[in-house]
Amino acid sequence: MASTSAPPSSRLYRRPTAARPHVGVRFGHGVASGDPLTDRVVLWTRVTTDQLSVPVGWVIARDEALTDVVARGTAIAHADDDHTVHVDAGGLEPGTTYYYRFTRGASFSPIGRTKTLPDGGERVRFAFCSCAKYNAGFFNAYARIAEHEQLDFLLHLGDYIYEASNTPPKSQTPGADIGRPFEPLEECRTLADYRRRYAQYRRDPDVQRLHQQLPMIATLDDHELADGAWAGGSTEHNVAEHGPWAERRDAALRARWEWLPARPPEPWDRTRVFRDVRLGGLADIMLLDIRSRRDEPARDPEMSEPGRTMLGAEQRDWLLRGLDASDSAWRIVVSPSVFTRTWCESPAQPLHTALAKLKLIDEDDEGPDHDQWDGYPAERAALTGHLRERGIEDVVFLSADIHVSVAAEVVDEASGRPVAVELTAPSLTSQNLDEKLGVAPRDPAILRSEEAYVAAHDHVGWCEMASHGYVVIDIDADRIRSEWWHVDTVLERTGGVSLAAAFETPRGARQLRRVS
């Protein structure tokens, strides 16, 4: 396990280019790109202005000096969109790096770097991550992702923002004492609140560095909406006090579409987030929305009722059809909630306390964490049964949300056979076990909890409960490799990062093999 204070590839990292002096407008939230396809990518910026609308020039080129121009044009930053700008720049070549910039009069944005998706390439490499809680830590992991070697894009599994109050209710962990309070201080409930929260995140230098360097493909988890969100509400949403849930959800989604460099998959339905991304015959990525369409979490016996859904009928049908039709080498299902079982009956100490702190045991100790797929067992069994019955091979689940690193095999419980593997990313900053217990990261209680978790779950190959970071996925036609990269700390802005573990799954194997 090599620890290094140098980034994985400082050679490739370029310092953010400072904006030049400006007249009238500023690009204070940087630039971003996202939802790349083989021939296009969304370019994003925001203008800080008092004017109702401002025309903004944009340019995309093959070189960083912006001399080999591919396309240019003008877009409008309007108050209706919170002065955010989205340009869907087309006419690009597959698997190609581009540079872009926005201008207004004498004002220039920083120069961003982006890349289109490959079309029939031999190898794809991307990072995935989740759970960026602003008041819990510095986004060192974003900075390390920005400088990681040869990534094609970042896949974000949600909790890109936390809507939480700086003084949260008991069900949520308070932030760290590091001078990073949320803006606004209160929980976000209105469009203005969510916009302010996104703006705070996008002023962060490491968030800006990430977006300036890599295109992002994102789904969402609950905190883009509200804690514990489901189709008809959330844990902390009180209709009598806060108004109709649909209004709050729509406000949260509107701010999200404004502030992310994203292309809505159905422009006429802004509640649709789930979509697929094709990597040129190498992999089909299916991004799930496991929040806005799910039934309300429930305990048994209701939890085990056959009709209960995490996905909703429309998304489930889309997923099954996509899995059946996929003829790529790999099928990657992106589920922010953990798909495999995290529950274990009557765990001994210290695992019992660890699972309770990580919310993998229901807080009243009455059963599984009903927030994950453990809480939707019938639909999970239907999905694993579908993979088994149809003989669908080479399926990989990517998940997050529980704030710890896990490598596991996905077992179809009806047959007892593995049908896929699952790779779970730690949080970027949200508190994990050491912070929730108030102990050192490698405290004996942590080590014993990790050992006991693996021992209690035959399908789990490895777990680490006390680090923050991200996972790098490297795909070719023969194998998928996963690397867990952990940062040294989130309590100060530092550059240390280390490779915690790496696994490979050969085509046709449905198994994890630990590699050096």
> Which of 404, 426, 359, 435 minimizes the C-alpha distance to 177?
435
Among the listed ranges 3-11, 154-162, 270-278, 408-416, the one in contact with Fe ion (CB under 5 A) is: 154-162
- Using the rule CB under 5 A, which residue among 85, 131, 207, 473 binds Fe ion? 131
Phi then psi for residue 351, to 5 deg, are -65, -35
Answer whether 339's CB lies under 8 Å from 422's CB: yes
Task: Report helix, strand or coil for 198.
Answer: helix
> Which of 199, 68, 161 minimizes the C-alpha distance to 429?
161
Establish if 450 lies at the interface with Fe ion (CB under 5 A).
no
- Using the rule CB under 5 A, which residue among 82, 159, 284, 450 binds Fe ion? 159
Q: Does residue 244 have a cis peptide bond before it, meaning omega lies within 30 degrees of 0?
A: no
Among the listed ranges 54-62, 127-135, 260-268, 286-294, the one in contact with Fe ion (CB under 5 A) is: 127-135
| 78/59 Cα distance (integer angstroms) | 19
Taking the complex as a whole, the smallest distance from the CB of residue 159 to Fe ion amounts, in Å, to 4
| 344/357 Cα distance (integer angstroms) | 14
Instruction: Please give the size of the binding site for Fe ion, defined by CB under 5 A.
Output: 3
Tokens of 378: 């019938």
Of residues 159 and 204, the one with the C-beta less far from Fe ion:
159
Taking the complex as a whole, the smallest distance from the CB of residue 173 to Fe ion amounts, in Å, to 10
Residue nearest Fe ion (C-beta atom): 131
Taking the complex as a whole, the smallest distance from the CB of residue 130 to Fe ion amounts, in Å, to 6
Of residues 384 and 430, the one with the C-beta less far from Fe ion:
430
Residue 69 C-beta-side C-alpha neighbours within 13 Å: 7
Establish if 371 lies at the interface with Fe ion (CB under 5 A).
no
Taking the complex as a whole, the smallest distance from the CB of residue 320 to Fe ion amounts, in Å, to 27
Taking the complex as a whole, the smallest distance from the CB of residue 265 to Fe ion amounts, in Å, to 23
Of residues 109 and 172, the one with the C-beta less far from Fe ion:
172
Q: Exposure string (b/e) for 448-472, b if CB count within 10 Å is 16 or more? A: ebbebbbebbeebbbbbbbbbbbbb
Of residues 46 and 403, the one with the C-beta less far from Fe ion:
403
Among the listed ranges 64-72, 356-364, 427-435, 442-450, the one in contact with Fe ion (CB under 5 A) is: 427-435
Of residues 212 and 430, the one with the C-beta less far from Fe ion:
430
Tokens of 353: 């306390």
| 408/415 Cα distance (integer angstroms) | 17
List the alpha helices (DSSP H) in 391-504: 433-437, 444-456
Neighbours of 415 (CB within 10 A): 12
Please name the residues in contact with 103: beta carbons below 8 A apart, sequence gap of 6 or more: 56, 57, 58, 59, 109
Taking the complex as a whole, the smallest distance from the CB of residue 401 to Fe ion amounts, in Å, to 5
Among the listed ranges 111-119, 159-167, 212-220, 303-311, the one in contact with Fe ion (CB under 5 A) is: 159-167
Of residues 220 and 410, the one with the C-beta less far from Fe ion:
220
Among the listed ranges 72-80, 113-121, 158-166, 374-382, the one in contact with Fe ion (CB under 5 A) is: 158-166
Q: Are strands 513-515 and 497-506 parallel, antiparallel or unpaired?
A: antiparallel
Please name the residues in contact with 228: beta carbons below 8 A apart, sequence gap of 6 or more: 171, 222, 234, 235, 236, 297, 371
Of residues 131 and 480, the one with the C-beta less far from Fe ion:
131
Among the listed ranges 40-48, 249-257, 428-436, 448-456, the one in contact with Fe ion (CB under 5 A) is: 428-436
Taking the complex as a whole, the smallest distance from the CB of residue 134 to Fe ion amounts, in Å, to 12
Q: Which residues would be at the binding site for Fe ion (CB under 5 A)?
A: 131, 159, 430
